[in-house]
Structure 1
Amino acid sequence: MKRNVENVFVVAQKEFADSIWSPRFYLILGIFMIALLVNGYQAGQNISGMSGRFFAGLSPLTMGFMGFASQMSLLGPLIAIVLGFDAIVKERKSGSLNVLLTHPVYRDQVITGKLIGMMVTLGLVVVIAVGASVGVMLGVSGITVSVELISRIAVFMMLAFLFMLGYLALSVAASTFTKESSDSLIYSIAVWLVLGLLLGMVAYTAAGIITGQQRMFEVSSDDPSSMEKMEKRNKIARNIMSLSPSTHFTELINGPQISGGYVVTSAGGAGERPSEMRGLFDTGFTLGHWVEQNWVNLVVLIVTPVILLLVSYMAFMRQDITL
């Protein structure tokens, strides 16, 4: 048992070292940090100008983290895909797997070690990039850092890691089933494009066709039927968009969304406190209430990478790695 753990640790250590010393790692970390730092500075300036006020039921802090969630949902998947798209196929093409398995190291130890190494690398990226950018935002805005705020930032990092881990697991799965690194990269990016960018447009277009409510501007407060159609359109669209991890991630951070904005509850205009929780950083509510309200989204973010990693694990254990 001790020998098995040592083998896994050695493989994980090698995978982690290969990742952090590669030029590709510094490139993606630099791009990620620059994007988040710029967003953090801009968000900090906006927050300092809105302190103490609420707009459309959203606090300045919540609105500040909306930008982070948007950047994470856009760039996060690409970072994760670049880290994992050649994890298995590169080793198989180079023949290093055959050499490695001639030593007292088994397949399960190899795949487990590689997955752990990549997950640690991903976690390091999230902690460095998000930690630095959030620090800039809080410093510029002048928001007092409390224990509660630190705990919510820690939860935000965890959610960002889980979200990106889903796409890392996707790229590892593609690397396991394909025979070329280029194919693995293309398939992974194609899935990201569909789920992250195209699904929203497809969802609202399809929902509009189904309900006959093509545009939001067709809604009239004097026409109950048009309001019902719009509500039905939004419900159908959100059900379709729930296929994307980005939807669950952004709703965990920002609260429920509809096309063109956020779901309107009983909150009024500027200066009025919302009566329902609007995302993770709505400090008027406890984290327990947040979990109760968003547990479905949370479960999806956890289950998605677990399933994909298990698929990769089982496929690697069964496939022929000889060339």
Structure 2
Amino acid sequence: MTANGLAIIAGKEFSDHLRSRRFHLLFGILIVIAAVGMITGAVQYSKDLADYNSLQVIAQDDPTLAGTLAGLNPSILSAYSQMGGLMAIIGVVLGIAMGFDLVTREKESKSLKSLLAYPVFRDEVINGKALGGVGAIALAMGVVLVVSLAVMTLFGIVPDLDELVRILVFGVASFLLVFTFFALALLMSTVSKDSGNALLYSLIVMIVLTSFIPIFAYSPVYSAVFGDPPDPPGRSTYSYLQGSSAYMVTSVAVGYTSGDPIDPEELKEYERALREYMAQKQTITDIVTLISPTGNYQAILGAVSQPAGDNAPGYGDLLGALAYNVIALLAMPAAFFGLAWARFMREDIR
């Protein structure tokens, strides 16, 4: 691999992305979401801050209320939480749209064989395509952050250093989420014969990662798969069939509590069983979150969008709590790109 060949291919791919109508459309939607989300958040923040200041005046004569208000100072970071939820959807689509035909387009036009006939190595081709996409994604996320900060400035809101750091973490996490699905689409583009199949496979894997796997963390689904939590002593639950049809079965659970004294040993056994059940549920939830890129993104987003205050965790504690999520959000695109690289290097070009 030579630096000159890699730079030429990466520059061409970056330019192609910037001229793509798909990129223009999805990038425009991202900008609109960022602007509307921040305008809505800034208006709500101004209202919340005015209400908070009014309560502070009242709290001067009421020590109890003053204690209740401690740590509840409104923060503009809440607007990024709302914006991040919408960006997760559009960002995933943007990543797939940018990567699903990078290789299949060359196959379909028969230009891949001609490209490799030049003094260029295969790894330069796949690495250049990836770097061009990374550059376009980084540019899009950078503009989104600039737009959000510009909207805050227009409303007279100036984030402090802690909030700026958290906003930067939000931008990095958003970039990694989009890059994850770009790498997934690039992988599907290398293993598929045409762009239609590559897009279909990318969407199927995306649905599995973002919708199917996370449902196992929901309490009703978890209970259906792994069983219900233990009943407290002295209480039993009975289910009976209320109605059924060819399409739906409805059951009703009714709990009965006896008036007998509770045996201390039974209570200890119940507490032990409940702890084991909740620990198992937390383990399954953590595994599901780590497997799902959007789950990791939402975990990071939820942590960094919490208002900063005296009781807020420091940077070290925050990164420590999110270490597994950050590692997973880094490892998944790396795995997708590694598989795409290995597949492309062994591709039989005819």
Task: Pick one of 14, 19, 22 that aligns with 1:21.
Answer: 19
Deviation at 1:199, TM superposition (A): 3.3
Moved more, 171-180 or 36-45: 36-45
Q: Which residue of 2 aligns with 1:65?
A: 80
Show structure 2 runs of 5+ residues with no match. Answer: 54-68, 230-253, 256-266
1:282 aligns with 2:308: yes
Aligned ranges 1:164-203 → 2 under 5 Å: 164-203=178-217
Under a length normalisation based on structure 2, what TM-score does the superposition of the two structures give?
0.75
State how far apart, in whole Å, the 2-side matches of 1:279 and 1:128 are: 20
State how far apart, in whole Å, the 1-side matches of 2:46 and 2:284 are: 38
1:65 is matched by which residue type in structure 2? Answer: Y
Q: Which residue of 2 aligns with 1:212?
A: 228
Distance 1:241 1:288, change over 3 A: closer
State how far apart, in whole Å, the 2-side matches of 1:169 and 1:161 are: 12
Q: Which residue of 2 aligns with 1:267?
A: none
Distance 1:282 1:300, change over 3 A: farther
State how far apart, in whole Å, the 2-side matches of 1:134 and 1:197 are: 31
1:97 is matched by which residue type in structure 2? Answer: L
Q: Which residue of 2 aligns with 1:268?
A: none
Deviation at 1:234, TM superposition (A): 5.5
**SS at structure 2 position matched to 1:145:** coil
Distance 1:234 1:292, change over 3 A: closer
Q: 1:206, 1:237 within 8 Å by CA — same for their partners in 2?
A: no
Deviation at 1:171, TM superposition (A): 0.5
Q: Which residue of 2 aligns with 1:161?
A: 175
Under a length normalisation based on structure 1, what TM-score does the superposition of the two structures give?
0.80
State how far apart, in whole Å, the 2-side matches of 1:81 and 1:48 are: 37
1:159 is matched by which residue type in structure 2? Answer: A
Q: 2:81, 2:301 within 8 Å by CA — same for their partners in 1?
A: yes
Q: Which residue of 2 aligns with 1:241?
A: 289
Measured against aligned partners, the alpha-carbon deviations of 1:206-263 in whole angstroms (never above 9, x if no partner) come to: 31222315xxxx99xxx976976667545534432332111111111213xxxxxxxx
* Aligned residue-pair number: 293
The structure whose Rg is larger is 2
Measured against aligned partners, the alpha-carbon deviations of 1:261-284 in whole angstroms (never above 9, x if no partner) come to: xxxxxxxxxxxxxxxxx6576353
2:44 is matched by which residue type in structure 1? Answer: N
Q: Which residue of 1 aligns with 2:131?
A: 116
Q: Which has the higher strand share?
A: 2
1:162 is matched by which residue type in structure 2? Answer: L
State how far apart, in whole Å, the 1-side matches of 2:199 and 2:315 are: 37
Q: Which residue of 2 aligns with 1:273?
A: none
Distance 1:311 1:60, change over 3 A: same
Q: 2:180, 2:332 within 8 Å by CA — same for their partners in 1?
A: yes
Distance 1:86 1:143, change over 3 A: same
The list of structure 1 runs, each at least 4 consecutive aligned residues, that deviate by more than 4 angstroms after superposition, is 52-59, 223-235, 278-281
Q: 2:75, 2:307 within 8 Å by CA — same for their partners in 1?
A: no
Deviation at 1:308, TM superposition (A): 1.0
Aligned ranges 1:256-271 → 2 under 5 Å: none
Measured against aligned partners, the alpha-carbon deviations of 1:185-219 in whole angstroms (never above 9, x if no partner) come to: 11112222222234333432431222315xxxx99
Q: Which residue of 2 aligns with 1:252?
A: 300
Q: Which residue of 2 aligns with 1:259?
A: none
Q: 2:107, 2:194 within 8 Å by CA — same for their partners in 1?
A: no
2:291 is matched by which residue type in structure 1? Answer: L
State how far apart, in whole Å, the 2-side matches of 1:279 and 1:147 are: 14
State how far apart, in whole Å, the 1-side matches of 2:157 and 2:279 are: 37
Q: Which residue of 1 aligns with 2:119?
A: 104
**SS at structure 2 position matched to 1:101:** helix
Aligned ranges 1:48-87 → 2 under 5 Å: 48-51=46-49, 59-87=74-102
Q: What is the RMSD of the two structures over their aligned residues, measured on CA atoms? A: 3.1
Measured against aligned partners, the alpha-carbon deviations of 1:24-52 in whole angstroms (never above 9, x if no partner) come to: 21111111211222111111111112225
